[in-house]
Amino acid sequence: MKKTSLCLALLPVLLMGCVSAKRVIPESLLVCKDAPEVPAQGAQSRAVGNYIIDLYDAHSDCFTRLNGVRAIVAGENKPEGGP
């Protein structure tokens, strides 16, 4: 009887260790820059170059935000509103 009572008394304590805190991901980390519009066929080299730069910029933005989300989920830092 004593063992059963002790086990029942410790059950809530043990279950509390299974509860994980909800991590809040800031909205600013959930939205990335849009990919740029693809230049028309036969576009000037300058337009294609600008497209490549803008495409890289959009990728970099999303990559940075995803790393922020990853860090929050891993518990490495606290959200501060995003990049």
Phi, psi of 19, deg, nearest 5: -80, 130
Domain map (residue ranges) of the chain: 23-83
Closest CA to 61 of 71, 50, 53: 53
At residue 25, does pLDDT exceed 70?
yes
Q: Could you tell me the CA-to-CA distances from 46 to 18, 34, 38, 51, 64 in Å, in that order?
A: 57, 20, 13, 8, 27
Q: pLDDT digits over 35-51, tens only? A: 999 999 999 999 999 99
Band (13; pLDDT cuts 50, 70, 90): low
